[in-house]
């Protein structure tokens, strides 16, 4: 073993001991030292073992070029898995590696303990490798171009999955859907009954009754209560899907009539991959903030030479450096975590009086936050007025040809940040009707919340959906505050204002 | 030291050999193939791309890659509010960025927002030329006066026993040594003697030097508008570059004409407009004079090309045809390009259509995209014709 590697191992052991002392709780670690092009490959694919697609090649090319030109540098890459894989850039100095190792440990602690990651597959490295192999075989069977253009289409809607953590009926969405349909049918044949809040029973029935696997009979009061509260006309066709379906990928994969088995297989595999990556998108600010907080704290405990201290400070500064271009998640997350620590360590008199907060509970509170929150709740609950002012946050938007600061009200800034993180930043789109116009067409609906869709992208994505669904597709959204419908029938686009 | 013994169960550090991991490069290549496909599809548009034609020829060209975006449903970046961070003194009303009219739609804030992705591929003019010229071939090349027009160069292509020490060929030297040792019954590399030494040596090679001249002729009469001139200009731009690949030296003579012809500068050729009628034979006569005076066909490959909108004095047609015949005697080929946006019947074409000459070619350009087709028409790859 080379001297360098021995030094690194020694440092890792030391860092782990310090991390243990702080109470970080991580998986066994596998550190792998890789040359730059390998790190950048993994960075582009998000995983060491992912399937092949030109879009990853495009990303790789872009990232590698930025590296070659010295514009950006990835020092590490960490995979949410058990054991946890972390890839270190070959040529990192020892002190750089120390920072990175501490940083990575905190990421791993976050993966292991944050609730959003509760359902993620910790063997995803192997799963993705199996997926890659399977897609490779499909390429042999059906032609690389056929598979490629199919994947193009799937990737076009890949964000539209349903990442909810609580899944009734043991994850079996198809049974869940059929169950809902059956109940609706039942409800139609019986006269509607009573109260305005009856539909709440419905939720109850699905949530608890579902988990027992038998459906209607099990939930408390579900027998009578499960009737639809609204007065459905008996002859009206049942809506399909019974409720707007958030998981567009799943819906198409399950109910499209034009897909072949291998295509459904690819869709379901890509959907699994998206569901795996989703929590990382949902906790970007927290996760980076948490890791930055801990690499600082851990390195402070270490015996560094003065050169090391300076190099560490430089690297640390470059990581958490605020950026004018976009919010640096490392910085924002770090500042919020530090603020939480301060406020729970030294609560104000009012906080003590009103909430019974005891001083000195900063760390404890931080660990609680890292377990329970995602970026949405993290920002909503812990981005305070003082922080917004200290960080000099603002809202900017485009007015004419200029990008202007338009608002500095702290509540607005907080709410805007939250809004931008909803659904991982992607538009919220649901399947409204899988049998639109009663001719098997697909109606998607954009749940408009004040931000319009990019129409150019919209019109270029619809053909992808068409390719998957095999029949005309429609998307309902809002343009210039008026409802609008975009359609594609395989040859032509149609737009109409509603 | 003792308290920090690496706990093997809890972590492993490894360093594998990754040299066979080519995945990123493979997919990168696939992406680049797709980029090339898109560029190829766009060639007709690119050929008349203004900022290429007007450039000095050294730049990187940006090609919009409409089909290589990863399209998905996204929010409209422009119509959205964003949160940003200042230095501590930001005020409502501060202007952060401004859309320059050029990259309108890109937004000042690139960041990591998906909407702001640059949807262009960069390609150097050279690569673009490769793509375009790949399908072209210079017709009717003739060998000109070799003795006069040779240049001397050298290349390493021989191995000798004597030579300069700096040119030693190590591999062959060792092979010789091995062989000699093997013959004497001892294996291995040892005792390299002067006899084993092998040197790379060069040989003078004579490269035929070739010259070409383009006689660019254009109608600058009143009827030639900006569009017509632009098409002609794009055509000459590519033609010049194409010939430069084939010949060491390519000269261009610009001849503008209306009722009479004169030699002009490149600048004037493309920009100056004149009025008046058109007599094409004037420019052909001028071309003949210039060829006879300056470019002896014995040492020059001559390519006269004439661009016009087709209007000509009807009585002049016969003279034109006769002069073309004379030009062809001196030239490799003669090309006539007519820029005829509205597909009118033109005087010149009515005559040229019936001109059945081997090396006389014409093409009618109706829209910008056809400049590329014109290039392909004039310089398409031919079956090997029986010409010496």
Express each pLDDT in B155-182 by its tens digit: 777 888 888 888 888 999 999 999 888 8
| pLDDT at residue B350, rounded to an integer | 81
Q: Are strands A482-488 and A473-479 parallel, antiparallel or unpaired?
A: antiparallel
For residue B65, which residues of chain A lie inside 8 Å, CB to CB? none
Please tell me whether residues A180 and A305 are part of one structural domain.
no
Asked whether residue A240 is domain-assigned, the answer is no
- Alpha carbon A37 to its chain's center: 26
User: A258 to chain B nearest CA, in Å?
Assistant: 21
* Interval B137-165 mean pLDDT: 70
Q: In this structure, is residue A176 part of a structural domain?
A: yes
Question: For residue B4, what pLDDT is reported?
Answer: 46
Residue to substitute from A159, A326, A418, interface B, most B β-carbons within 10 A = A326
Stretch among A148-157, A180-189, A315-324, B304-313 having the lowest mean pLDDT: A180-189
d(CA B312, CA B318): 11
Sheet containing B95-98, strands listed edge to edge, beginning at the edge strand earlier in sequence: B82-85, A393-399, A402-407, B95-98
Report residue A343's pLDDT band, with 50, 70 and 90 as the boundaries. Answer: very high
**Which two three-digit tokens encode residue A126?**
């192997």
The b/e string for B150-175 (b: 16+ C-beta within 10 A; e otherwise) is eeeeeeeeeeeeebeeeeebeeebee
Greatest Cα pair distance in chain A: 81
Range of the domain at A465: 427-497
B277 to chain A, closest Cα gap in Å: 48
- Give the residue, B20 or B102, on which the prediction is more confident: B20
Query: Do A89 and A102 sit in the same domain of this protein?
Result: yes
Return left, alpha or beta for B22; rule: phi > 0 is left, psi -120 to 50 is alpha, else beta: alpha
pLDDT value for A201: 67
Determine if the pTM surpasses 0.80: no
What are the chain A neighbours of B77 within 8 Å (beta carbons)? 454
Contact B309, B250 (CB under 8 A): no
pLDDT of residue B97: 81
Q: Are residues A128 and A273 in the same domain?
A: yes
pLDDT of residue B245: 76
Q: Which residue has the higher pLDDT, A271 or A4?
A: A271
What average pLDDT does this structure show over A472-487? 94
Residue B334 has pLDDT above 80, yes or no: yes
Determine the Cα–Cα distance for residues A31 and B251; give it in Å rounded to an integer.
63
- Check residues A435 and B146 and name the one with the higher pLDDT: A435
Strand order in the sheet with B261-264: B261-264, B249-257, B211-219, B301-308, B334-339, B360-365
pLDDT > 70 fraction of chain B, expressed in percent and rounded: 80
pLDDT score recorded for residue A151:
96
Neighbours of A278 (CB within 10 A): 20
DSSP state of B356: -
B139 backbone dihedrals φ, ψ, rounded to 5°? -85, 155
CB < 8 Å to B86, chain A: 324, 392-394, 405
The tens digit of pLDDT for each residue in A15-49 reads 999 999 999 999 999 999 999 889 999 999 989 88
CA angle A109, A115, A117 (to 5 degrees): 70
Secondary element (H or E) of residue B226: helix B226-246
pLDDT of residue B81: 87
- Does A133 touch chain B if contact means CB atoms closer than 8 Å? no
Beta carbons within 8 Å of B225's beta carbon, 6+ residues apart? none
Overall size of chain B counted in residues:
388
- Taking an 8 Å cut-off on Cβ atoms, the answer to whether B12 and A64 are in contact is no
Radius of gyration of chain B (CA): 31
Q: What is the pLDDT of residue A119?
A: 87
**Contacting residues of B for A16, CB less than 8 Å apart:** 7, 10-11
Residues 6+ apart with CB under 8 A from B101: A401
pLDDT of residue A66: 84
| pLDDT computed for residue B151 by the predictor | 61
Note the pLDDT of residue B220. Answer: 81
Average of per-residue pLDDT across B186-196: 85
User: Per this entry, what is the length of chain A?
Assistant: 498
When pLDDT is cut at 50, 70 and 90, the band that residue B58 belongs to is: low
Given A265, A294, A318, the domain boundary residue is A318
Lowest mean pLDDT among A198-202, A448-452, B348-352: A198-202
Would you place residue A208 in the very low, low, confident or very high pLDDT band (cuts 50, 70, 90)? very low
B136 has pLDDT over 90? no
Let me know whether A160 and A259 are in one domain.
yes
CB half-sphere exposure, A489, CA atoms < 13 A:
6
- The per-residue pLDDT of chain A, averaged, comes to 87
Instruction: Identify the residue whose tokens are 């005309």.
Output: A472
Which of B4, B75, B85 has the CB atom closest to A13's CB atom? B4
- For residues A148-160, give the mean pLDDT: 95
Q: Is the pLDDT of residue A305 over 80?
A: yes
Same domain, A470 and A361: no
From A372, A404, A422, give the residue that closes a domain. Answer: A422
Band of the pLDDT at A372, cuts 50, 70, 90?
very high
Residues A266 and A346 in one domain: no
Q: Is A403 on the interface with B (CB under 8 A)?
A: yes
Domain boundary among A156, A190, A225: A225
At residue A149, the pLDDT reads: 92
Residue B27 to residue A327, Cβ atoms within 8 A: no
- Chain B hits for A57, CB-CB cut-off 8 Å, are 24-32
With a CB-CB cutoff of 8 Å, which residues 318-337 of chain A face chain B?
322-328
The answer, yes or no, to whether residue A205 has pLDDT greater than 80, is no
Phi, then psi, of B21 in degrees rounded to 5: -80, 105
Co-location of A182 and A277 in the same domain: no
Q: Which two tokens stand for residue B99?
A: 């859309």
Kindly tell me if the per-residue pLDDT of A139 is higher than 90: yes
Disruptive mutation site among A17, A334, A405 for chain B (greatest number of B CBs within 10 Å): A405
Q: Lowest-pLDDT range, A122-131, A182-191, A265-274, B4-13?
A: B4-13
Q: How many domains does chain A have?
A: 5
| Cβ-proximal residues to A167 (8 Å cutoff; 6+ apart), any chain | A173
Between the CA of residue A111 and those of A39, A373, B164, what are the distances in Å? Answer: 20, 12, 66
CA-based nearest residue to A340, from A323, A310, A363: A363
A105 token code pair: 């440990």
- The first and second tokens of residue B19, run together, are 């040299």
Distances, alpha carbon B337 to alpha carbons B45, B47, B278, B305, in Å: 18, 16, 16, 7
- Average pLDDT of the residues of chain B: 78
Structure confidence at residue A256 (pLDDT): 94
Gap from B45 CA to chain A (nearest CA, Å): 21
Show residues of chain B in contact with A8, CB under 8 Å: 13
Instruction: Looking at the complex, report in whole angstroms how far the Cα of residue A369 sits from the nearest Cα belonging to chain B.
Output: 23
pLDDT of residue A204: 61
Contacts of B88 in chain A (CB under 8 A): 392
Report if residue A232 sits inside a domain: no
Least confident piece of the model among A301-305, B76-80, B249-253: B249-253
Q: For residue B306, which of B361, B347, B260 has the smallest C-alpha distance? A: B361
Q: What is the DSSP letter of B154?
A: E
Average pLDDT over residues A455-459: 91
What's residue A192's pLDDT?
57
Closest CA in chain A for residue B104: A401
At residue A4, does pLDDT exceed 90? no
A19 with A106, same domain: the answer is yes
Q: Does residue B352 carry a pLDDT above 90? A: no
Helix (H) or strand (E) holding B214: strand B211-219
8 Å CB contact between A296 and A309 = no
Q: Residue B190's pLDDT is what?
A: 85
User: How far is the alpha carbon of B38 from chain A, nearest alpha carbon, in Å?
Assistant: 14
User: How many Å is the maximal CA-CA distance in chain B?
Assistant: 108
Among A167-176, A306-315, A433-442, B335-344, the minimum mean pLDDT is found in A167-176
The pLDDT of residue B147: 47
> A138: distance to nearest CA of chain B, Å?
17
A434 and A450 together in one domain = yes
On chain B, the residues whose CB falls within 8 A of the CB of A457 are: 69, 71-74, 115
Taking CB atoms and an 8 Å limit, are A417 and B83 in contact across chains?
yes
Q: Residues A382-419: pLDDT tens digits? A: 999 999 999 999 999 888 888 889 999 999 999 999 99
Residues in chain B within 8 Å Cβ distance of A13:
4-7, 11
Distance from CA of B366 to the nearest CA of A (A): 28
- Is pLDDT above 60 for A210? no
Q: What is the ipTM of this complex?
A: 0.84
Residue of A nearest to B20 (CA): A38
Instruction: Evaluate if residue B138 carries a pLDDT over 90.
Output: no
HEC secondary structure over chain A: CCHHHHHHHHHHHHHHHHHHHHCCCCCCEEEEEECHHHHHHHHHHCCCCCCCCHHHHHHHHHHHHHHHCCCCCCCEEECCCCCEEEEEECCCCHHHHHHHHHHHHHHHHHHHHCHHHCCCCCCHHHHHHHHHHHHHHHHHHHCHHHHHHHHHHHHHCCCCCCCCCCCCHHHCHHHHHHHHHHHHHHHHHCCCCCCCCCHHHHHHHHHHHHHHCCCCCCCCCHHHHCCCCCCCCCCCCCCCCCCCECCHHHHHHHHCCCCCHHHHHHHHHHHHHHHHHHHHHHCHHHHHHHHHHHHHHHHHCCCCCHHHHHHHHHHHHHHHCCCCCCCCHHHHHHHHHHHHHHHHHCCCHHHHHHHCCCCCCHHHHHHHHHHHCCHHHHHHHHCCHHHHHHCCEEEEEEECCEEEEEECCHHHHHHHHHHHHHHHHCCCEEEEEEEECCCCEEEEEECCCCCCECHHHHHHHHHHHHHHHCCCEEEEEEECCEEEEEEECCCCEEEEEC
* CA neighbours closer than 13 Å in the CB half-sphere of residue B154: 7
DSSP B187: -
Q: CB distance B95–A402 less than 8 Å?
A: yes
User: Are A128 and A269 in a shared domain?
Assistant: yes
Whether residue A78 is contained in a domain is answered as yes
Rounded Cα–Cα distance for residues B203 and A353 (Å): 97
pLDDT at residue B118 in the model: 46
pLDDT the model gives residue B207: 61
Tokens found for residue A140: 């042999």
Q: What is the mean pLDDT of residues B90-110?
A: 61
The number of angstroms, rounded, from the C-alpha of A447 to the middle of its chain's C-alpha atoms is 18
* Residue range B251-301, pLDDT digits in tens: 888 888 888 888 888 777 777 767 777 888 888 999 999 998 888 888 788
Tell whether A392 lies on the interface with B, counting CB pairs under 8 A.
yes
* Listed range (A215-224, A426-435, A456-465, B31-40) with the worst mean pLDDT: A215-224
Residue carrying structure tokens 């600082």: A296
> In a 10 Å sphere around its CB, with 0-12 CB exposed, 13-18 middle and 19+ buried, how is residue A218 labelled?
middle
Structural domain includes residue A235: no
Same domain, A269 and A380: no
Give A413's contacts in chain B (Cβ within 8 Å).
83
- Model confidence at B149: pLDDT above 70: no
Q: Are residues A373 and A454 in the same domain?
A: no
């Amino acid at each position: 073993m080379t001297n360098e590697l021995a030094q690194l191992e020694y440092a890792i052991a030391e860092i782990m001991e310090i991390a243990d002392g702080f109470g970080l709780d991580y998986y066994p670690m596998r550190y792998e030292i890789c040359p730059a092009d390998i790190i950048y490959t993994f960075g582009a694919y998000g995983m060491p073992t992912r399937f092949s697609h030109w879009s990853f090649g495009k990303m790789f090319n872009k990232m590698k070029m930025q590296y070659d030109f010295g514009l950006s540098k990835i020092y590490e890459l960490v995979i949410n898995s058990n054991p946890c894989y972390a890839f270190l850039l070959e040529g990192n100095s020892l002190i750089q590696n120390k920072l990175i190792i501490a940083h990575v440990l905190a990421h791993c602690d976050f993966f292991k303990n944050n609730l959003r990651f509760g359902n993620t597959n910790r063997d995803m490295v192997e799963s993705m490798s199996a997926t890659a192999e399977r897609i490779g075989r499909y390429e042999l069977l059906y032609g690389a171009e056929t598979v490629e253009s199919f994947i193009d289409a799937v990737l076009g809607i890949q964000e539209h999955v349903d990442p909810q953590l609580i899944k009734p009926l043991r994850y079996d969405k198809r049974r869940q859907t059929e169950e809902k349909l059956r109940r609706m049918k039942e409800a139609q044949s019986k006269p509607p009954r009573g109260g305005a809040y009856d539909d709440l029973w419905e939720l109850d029935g699905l949530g608890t009754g579902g988990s027992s696997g038998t459906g209607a009979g099990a939930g408390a009061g579900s027998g009578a209560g499960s009737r639809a509260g609204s007065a459905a006309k008996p002859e009206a066709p049942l809506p399909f899907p019974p409720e707007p379906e958030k998981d567009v990928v799943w819906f198409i994969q399950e109910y499209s009539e034009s897909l072949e088995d291998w295509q459904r297989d690819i869709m379901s595999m890509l959907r699994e991959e998206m569901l795996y990556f989703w929590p990382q998108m949902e906790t970007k600010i927290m996760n980076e903030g948490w890791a930055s907080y801990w690499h600082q704290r851990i390195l402070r405990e270490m015996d560094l030479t003065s050169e090391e201290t300076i190099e560490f400070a430089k690297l640390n500064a470059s990581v958490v450096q605020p950026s004018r271009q976009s919010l640096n998640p490392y910085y924002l997350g770090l500042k919020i975590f530090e603020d939480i620590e301060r406020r729970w360590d030294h609560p104000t008199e009012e906080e003590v009086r009103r909430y019974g907060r005891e001083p000195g509970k900063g760390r404890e509170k931080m660990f609680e936050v890292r377990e329970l929150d995602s970026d949405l709740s993290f920002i909503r609950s812990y981005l305070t007025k003082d922080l917004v002012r200290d960080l000099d946050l603002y809202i900017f938007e485009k007015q004419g040809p200029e990008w202007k600061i338009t608002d500095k009200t702290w509540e607005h800034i907080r709410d805007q940040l939250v809004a931008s993180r909803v659904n991982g930043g992607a538009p919220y789109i649901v399947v409204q009707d899988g049998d639109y116009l009663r001719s098997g067409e697909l109606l998607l609906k954009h749940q408009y919340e004040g931000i319009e869709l990019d129409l150019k992208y919209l019109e270029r994505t619809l053909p992808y959906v068409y390719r998957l669904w095999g029949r005309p597709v429609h998307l309902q959204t809002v343009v210039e505050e008026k409802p609008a419908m975009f359609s594609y029938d395989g040859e032509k686009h149609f737009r109409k204002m509603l | 030291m003792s308290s920090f013994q690496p706990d093997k169960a809890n972590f492993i550090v490894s360093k594998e050999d990754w040299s066979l991991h080519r995945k990123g490069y493979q997919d990168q290549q696939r992406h680049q193939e797709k980029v090339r496909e898109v560029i190829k599809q766009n060639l007709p548009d690119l050929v008349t791309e203004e900022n290429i034609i007007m450039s000095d020829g050294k730049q990187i060209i940006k090609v919009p890659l409409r089909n290589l975006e990863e399209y998905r449903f996204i929010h409209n970046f422009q119509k959205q509010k964003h949160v940003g961070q200042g230095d501590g003194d930001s005020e409502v009303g501060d202007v952060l960025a401004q859309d320059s009219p050029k990259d309108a739609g890109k937004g000042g804030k690139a960041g990591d927002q998906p909407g702001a992705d640059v949807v262009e591929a960069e390609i150097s003019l050279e690569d673009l030329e490769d793509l375009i010229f790949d399908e072209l071939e210079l017709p009717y090349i003739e060998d000109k006066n070799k003795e006069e027009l040779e240049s001397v160069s050298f290349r390493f292509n021989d191995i000798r026993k004597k030579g300069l020490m700096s040119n030693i060929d190590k591999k062959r030297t060792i092979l010789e040594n091995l062989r000699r040792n093997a013959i004497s019954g001892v294996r291995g590399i040892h005792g390299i003697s002067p006899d084993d030494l092998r040197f790379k040596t060069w040989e003078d090679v004579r490269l035929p030097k070739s010259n070409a001249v383009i006689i660019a002729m254009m109608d600058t009469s009143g009827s030639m508008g900006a569009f017509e001139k632009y098409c002609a200009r794009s055509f000459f731009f590519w033609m010049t570059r194409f010939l430069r690949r084939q010949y060491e030296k390519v000269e261009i003579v610009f001849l503008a004409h209306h009722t009479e012809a004169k030699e002009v500068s490149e600048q004037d050729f493309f920009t100056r407009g004149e009025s008046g009628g058109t007599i094409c034979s004037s420019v052909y006569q001028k071309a003949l004079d210039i060829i006879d005076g300056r470019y002896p066909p014995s040492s020059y490959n001559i390519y006269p090309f004439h661009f016009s909108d087709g209007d000509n004095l009807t009585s002049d047609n016969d003279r034109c045809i006769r002069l073309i015949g004379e030009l062809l005697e001196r030239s490799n080929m003669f090309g006539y390009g007519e820029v005829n946006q509205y597909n009118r019947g033109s005087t010149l074409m009515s005559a040229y259509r019936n001109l059945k000459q081997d090396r006389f070619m014409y093409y009618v350009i109706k829209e910008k995209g056809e400049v590329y087709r014109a290039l392909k028409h004039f310089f398409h790859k031919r079956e090997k014709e029986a010409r010496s």
